[in-house]
Structure 1
Amino acid sequence: MSTFFPRSLYQAFRGQCSYSAKGLTIILIALFLAFNLIVYIHFSDLLNPPIQDLPRKADQRESSSLVMSRHPFPPTSDWMSDWLYNQTVDSKLDESVGKGLKIDVVYTWVNGSDPTLMAVKERYEDASPFFQKFRAARNARVGQSNSGLTANRYRDMDELRYSVRSVAEYASTMFNRIHILTTVVDPETQESQAPSWLNNASLDVIQLVRHDVIFKDKTLLPSFNSLAIESQIHHIPMVTDVFLYLNDDVFLGTPMAAADVWTPLYGFVFHMEPTLLVPPFMHTPDNTLNVGEWDSLQYSNYLLSMQFGPRHRSYLAHVPHVLSVPLLDEIQSMWPEEFEATSSHRFRGEGQARDVHVSFFMAHYVAERLRETQLSSFWFNRLDANQDGILDWSEREQFLKRVDNWNQVQYEKSTQWPPLPYFQNFSSFVSNSEDHLRQLGMPPTGSSTYRLSGLDGYPFMLASANTTSTVQGLDNRPYMVNDDVQLRRCHLNIDFCLGSDFKSSTVEAIDHDASTTIFQRLAFTEFHCGDCLLHMLRQTATEPGLGSEILPVEKDSKVYQDVVSDLTKYNYVIAMSSYTFVSLMDPFGSQTFLNQIMNKKATEAFFCINDNVNNNPRVEAQVRDIFKRFLDQRFPTSSPWEKP
């Protein structure tokens, strides 16, 4: 399954001719749910206030320039500067650069089938106003006990054992340690959970980390909210600065290495789905039990939109996620109240489901900060050529001529077929990436294919964006990852994006404050203008790299070093992988989907198997048996850390 194909539609249409009547019923239900989701996303703009009308935290913009306290590689090294400036890899660099890089693996895990934990959880549910509010209505509607509302979210089907086996089989040379976050079963005895299969002699490699180690406020424990636990995940002692985060239902399917997670040249490796967009506003109905992730995604995008502009942002694929301790420290320092509130929600849905979704938040924060760094460097360091803090008419006139030429060429090329790139000699930062990684001792495995670099512009700029007006809803869809960045088109409207004063020759000078106001509009309020400007800068560059258009001119200056440091810190690529997400609901569908995964054993890089079985003991037992047989067949070899 392609990373960017809607899962529900894919699963519905695969093998549709061979399904029984029961299978066809499941397909129709899936299609109905998918249709309703599309309709909801498309029309939800009409039901919510425009994001521009909501208050902005005034102090966040200034605080976003925090410097990461540590990084796997020096952010201002000469060879990294050369890479950013002219896109060349120093010939002196060899395999010693990347060979020693180790990236820890982190799991969140709970054995919800543990009777002791179930009893503790039920006591806290009884005391939760959230559960009290919905218990009567839910029980009357579906006739089930409160403890069954989220049984599948906590039920243990021994997934962790086999996920760890997948890491042992396919990533043994990549990681240093495996950290498993565990809960304290009984607050009185302080007994914590441990996987029954784990060999105690392996605790030097697999480390059990209790939640009270990462939570500063111990009164918030025990927590049954994975989002709350993830909000504290960067507090794990001795975890590597960059680490790989997996839920216990995520599995590796093909060999994986550091190049699938993070590299010094290309930064973080993100997998996103531009076909599934998260809206930039909150939608929390008062009459539903919010226990899914969609509300937390919308809340996270709302926070990002208040800071970086009201953009529909791409969903993060259900694959292992790369996270960073220094960056999460930075993010938490900018949104301390929001992180604290998330950690305090013992169950999903508490606090009106306003939880920070850490993986989604960090990925898009990185993308926005890299974009902001490039745009601000051009605006304040290159457009202001004499560096006097004022945009005089001669500086603006030169820029306006360049934009006019760009717009004219864009119009001419849009009428040609097949379309042609702006410059034939444009070189993307991901060009020859495999050769560069081999030179650094980080050869790619094939599990992830680099498609777009954030250094080449914002990857999800809108296709055919209208820069004469504000973006409304989903009128414009983003370019896809497979779209050649050189063939993307955009028209930069000066009047709307920059204002009448900017293009008026009678305005001799625009002072720093006015220039900053224009930049804020261009880069954030009307974000599609900033996307187009950044795309123009890269496509019209006369030399490879960022040196000719974006980086400050004086390479020995502090401002140059600061820009290089931020570009290094927020560097990333968008990658594609073959992966599958399935939900186990009933015996027939479970067997069908698991057979499909088994048939793709040689090519499927990742797969996520979600337990969505209802609280029916007979169905649960049947699905558990089917799932167990699949896991034993797919990962038959015990990991080195299991009991004999």
Structure 2
Amino acid sequence: MATSIFFWVLLIRKYYFVAESHPYTSLDERPPQIQEDDTHHIFRNIDRGPTSRTPLCIRAYNSMSDECVEEWVAHHQWGPACTGTDLSAGLSIDGVWTWVNGSDPLQIATRQRYKPDKAMKMDAAHRYVEHNELLYSMRSALTSLGDDTMQRLHILASAYPHSNGSDEVMAGQIPYWLENNKALTNKSRIVLHHDADYFKLIEKPGTNFTSWERGEWKEAAIPTFNSLAVESQIQNIEDTSSDQLVYYNDDFFTLRKLSVSDFTTPLYGPVIKTLTRLTSMYLPAKDTFWRTINPAGEEPGIKRAAWVLGMRFSLRPYYYITHHPRTLWLPLLREAAQTFPEAFTDTALSRFRAQEDVPASVQAVFLGSWYVVERHREALLWTWTIAKWGGRSGTLSSKLKARMWNELANEESPSASRLSIPMPVRVPVKDRHVFQAANVSMPTSTEYSFSSKDGYALAYVDSTWPWNRPRHGYPDLTRGLLENNQTADGSKLLRDPSFIPARACVIKRSTCFESYTQNETANNFFRRIAFEKPECGDCIITALIGASGISGIDKFLPHHQAKIDPGLHADALTLPPHLPLTSDWATTDFSMTNAIPKGSLKTGMTLRTWCTRLIQRYSYVLGSVESDFYKVERANTLETKLDEVELKVEEELNTIGSSYSKSEDHTYEDWRSRLGWSRGPLAFLCLNDDVKDTGKLRDRIDELLMTFFDRMWPSRMSFEKQV
């Protein structure tokens, strides 16, 4: 890694870091004279050290007892052991906004100064024009979620070398409306971060860069004019109040009241919103021609991110993460960066999106989101193969493999050379009774399309036709359930014995088990089904989900009395459960003694509990919410669009108000089942700046936006300056 990074650092400094060789080329040849004022903060650019390689615990999960985790994760029951569990650590979020004032003379001059000699294929100046979107984006989010849910807000702002010519002194941008004394103290609900502070090199195991080397890397990365580079460093922000982040661009606006569970819950994990259309599918590519055709677009970074994931988890297509506020759990995003340090570090070196002759970038939000999904799949397969069947010996004999095959066969003939696995029949993704028992509010506008409690999402997407996936691209696994009228609780469900599910997939013994009569290590078996032949692992997960019944994952887990090497126990928990943080599965040892980190298995904790907590760490929901993406290009069409949005929001409020009190909290199901709608309400609006008008028409666009913003979100925030 060291050789790779510093090869690029030297290359960038030679060709792109032109601070000394190129004067400013703006009309004013001298840099703007900037002092500490309402819109700039002067500070020293100091070495803040590398990103820590210690994985972070998830506080909400730590609040659950081992007994509660067994009930909830293993059996999907919120039972007596969970009663009274304090989930408050998982019921708040920190909002994170990226922002740059592209109208600032310092930003304009610095952007020109660092622009590469070689012409880029896209003039990105329009990406930086200031329309005061940040203020109203933040107002809209706070109005929607309230102070109790959104407890802290973070602005990721840009900083540039100070006009004194020294790169050790930086001038950081500040929104003109923000109370500086609150935002810069880190003791307020609002925290202002400058890229020069949170851009940090992350080291690969075995490397130990000096302060000078870290400075060289940072000098090659800062200042940046690339939002993808900023996204690659979100995991480094400090002074967060919660583990759950919601990441907003400053052109994202929230149109209605939402619940924390529209974004995340400690029950189901982060809500990752995806599109599973064929046109939204991305094939992995190490190097892609899209970097030549559309270097400033999303495709190169997404396809590269898919390739990075594929090197660790097996190559497969992935689907687009929708372009509205995105949920990121800080411990898991940090872990993704620790797993792929080179991908995150290299992305930060691209000052401009369309810049050539720098390392290929990844879209970090896409990578971090699908990383959670892949880690959950890996945890399920590792638990079943290595923890449950491999055990302390780490060896799978022919007799053990025969028993594994029988378990997968479930009710089929175990002598078959192939198993036809039916679609599982499972309880609904979200259960109103569980939300009520756990004292967690229901989502108001988001469909929970698929939950990790039902296995690996992409296995169903890959094996079923789109018309058999009615839940925004994911299957409805509740078909085949009956209400159990013999119980007082109407929420209890049973499988209909007469229901015949469709086939989900096929497991071939010769392909997945290979040498059925010979011994082999559990490590080799796991690597084969998880990575070498991923279709085997996908179908095995589906089979075990079905064999576990209508809820729970019991068939994956080792027995309560399963033995474990005493040397793996520690006196105190210092690390969360996780598997190796390596970037290439082919060079990774997944054997139990190597895979379980020292300090993650406390004395007295069973192997079953450790595995259950491992699986819980990567819980997730794939969901969908109604949003509108609009390119702001011309004044005449913008006026019509803003009127349409405002009218639609008002009509939806009146519609729900005609059946229920407007002050009442309404769930997604209220909109769909009770009102007969085919969708939820419009929740988000993105006004993407791509203005084509000039002169007075551009001024008209500013006027239209400000009028719309003031009308929609007039309430001031506590950290705004008094007018």
Q: Which amino acid aligns with 1:320?
A: P
Name the residue aligned to 1:210: 194
Q: Does 1:623 align with 2:701?
A: yes
**Structure 2 residue corresponding to 1:360, chosen from 353, 357, 366:** 366
Name the residue aligned to 1:565: 613
Higher relative contact order, chain-length normalized (CA < 8 Å, sep 6+): 1
Q: How many Å separate the matches in 1 of 2:411 and 2:125?
A: 57
3-state SS in 2 of match to 1:292 = coil
Q: Which amino acid aligns with 1:625?
A: E
**Structure 1 residue corresponding to 2:352, chosen from 347, 350, 353:** 347
Q: How many Å separate the matches in 2 of 1:488 and 1:454?
A: 20
Q: Does 1:166 align with 2:166?
A: no
Give how far 1:404 is off.
5.2
Q: How many Å separate the matches in 1 of 2:540 and 2:329?
A: 29
Deviations, residues 450-485 of structure 1 (Å, cap 9, x unaligned): 22111211112255749xxxxxxx9x9999545213
Q: Do the aligned partners of residues 69 and 187 (structure 1) sit closer, same or farther apart at CA in structure 2, a change above 3 Å counting?
A: farther
Give how far 1:491 is off.
2.6
Q: Does 1:119 align with 2:109?
A: yes
Give how far 1:574 is off.
1.3
**Structure 1 residue corresponding to 2:519, chosen from 500, 507, 510:** 510
Q: How many Å separate the matches in 2 of 1:97 and 1:447?
A: 25
Q: Do the aligned partners of residues 366 and 287 (structure 1) sit closer, same or farther apart at CA in structure 2, a change above 3 Å counting?
A: closer
Name the residue aligned to 1:327: 332
Q: Which amino acid aligns with 1:524?
A: F
Give how far 1:405 is off.
6.3
Q: How many Å separate the matches in 1 of 2:550 and 2:706?
A: 56
Name the residue aligned to 1:443: 441
Q: Does 1:494 align with 2:508?
A: yes
Name the residue aligned to 1:224: 225
Name the residue aligned to 1:247: 249
Q: How many Å separate the matches in 1 of 2:260 and 2:176?
A: 30
Deviations, residues 1-58 of structure 1 (Å, cap 9, x unaligned): xxxxxxxxxxxxxxxxxxxxxxxxxxxxxxxxxxxxxxxxxxxxxxxxxxxxxxxxxx
Q: Which amino acid aligns with 1:215?
A: F
User: Is the contact made by 2:558 and 2:607 (CA closer than 8 Å) also made in structure 1?
Assistant: no
**Structure 2 residue corresponding to 1:259, chosen from 253, 258, 261:** 261
**Structure 2 residue corresponding to 1:107, chosen from 76, 97, 109:** 97
Q: For residues 228-627 of structure 1, what are the structure 2 equivalents within 5 Å?
A: 228-239=229-240, 240-275=242-277, 276-281=280-285, 282-284=287-289, 287-288=292-293, 290-350=295-355, 351=357, 354-384=360-390, 388-401=393-406, 403=408, 426-428=426-428, 430-432=429-431, 434-463=432-461, 465=463, 480-485=472-477, 489-495=503-509, 497-502=511-516, 507=517, 509-512=518-521, 515-542=522-549, 544-554=551-561, 558-601=606-649, 602=653, 603-614=681-692, 616-627=694-705
**TM-score normalised by the chain length of structure 1:** 0.76
Q: Does 1:98 align with 2:87?
A: yes
Q: How many Å separate the matches in 2 of 1:105 and 1:557?
A: 36
Give how far 1:573 is off.
1.1
User: Is the contact made by 1:184 and 1:191 (CA closer than 8 Å) also made in structure 2?
Assistant: yes
Name the residue aligned to 2:119: 134
Q: Which amino acid aligns with 2:350?
A: H
Q: How many Å separate the matches in 1 of 2:398 and 2:229?
A: 52
Q: How many Å separate the matches in 2 of 1:477 and 1:223?
A: 42
User: Is the contact made by 1:84 and 1:564 (CA closer than 8 Å) also made in structure 2?
Assistant: yes
Give how far 1:121 is off.
0.8
3-state SS in 2 of match to 1:485 = coil
Name the residue aligned to 1:84: 73
Q: How many Å separate the matches in 2 of 1:465 and 1:608?
A: 33
Deviations, residues 81-132 of structure 1 (Å, cap 9, x unaligned): 321122111336457723464321111100111122111111111xx2xxx3
Give how far 1:170 is off.
0.9
Q: How many Å separate the matches in 1 of 2:58 and 2:99?
A: 28
Deviations, residues 471-509 of structure 1 (Å, cap 9, x unaligned): xxx9x999954521356632323156315422xxxx2x3
User: Is the contact made by 2:394 and 2:523 (CA closer than 8 Å) also made in structure 1?
Assistant: no
Q: Do the aligned partners of residues 233 and 405 (structure 1) sit closer, same or farther apart at CA in structure 2, a change above 3 Å counting?
A: closer
Q: How many Å separate the matches in 2 of 1:318 and 1:289?
A: 18
Q: Does 1:175 align with 2:223?
A: no
User: Is the contact made by 1:459 and 1:479 (CA closer than 8 Å) also made in structure 2?
Assistant: no
Give how far 1:71 is off.
3.2
Q: Which amino acid aligns with 1:591?
A: E
User: Is the contact made by 2:349 and 2:359 (CA closer than 8 Å) also made in structure 1?
Assistant: no
Calculate percent identity across the aligned residue pairs. 26
Q: How many Å separate the matches in 2 of 1:544 and 1:255?
A: 32
Name the residue aligned to 2:599: none
Give how far 1:331 is off.
1.9
Q: Do the aligned partners of residues 464 and 171 (structure 1) sit closer, same or farther apart at CA in structure 2, a change above 3 Å counting?
A: closer
Q: Which runs of 5+ in 1 are unaligned?
A: 1-64, 139-145, 410-414, 467-473
More displaced, 113-122 or 612-621?
Answer: 612-621
3-state SS in 1 of match to 2:352 = coil
Q: Which amino acid aligns with 2:141?
A: V
3-state SS in 2 of match to 1:271 = strand
Q: How many Å separate the matches in 2 of 1:311 and 1:213?
A: 36
3-state SS in 2 of match to 1:134 = coil
3-state SS in 1 of match to 2:312 = helix
Q: For residues 16-35 of structure 1, what are the structure 2 equivalents within 5 Å?
A: none
Cα RMSD for the two superposed structures = 3.3
More displaced, 477-486 or 557-566?
Answer: 477-486
User: Is the contact made by 1:267 and 1:571 (CA closer than 8 Å) also made in structure 2?
Assistant: yes
More displaced, 163-172 or 194-203?
Answer: 194-203
Q: Which amino acid aligns with 2:444?
A: G
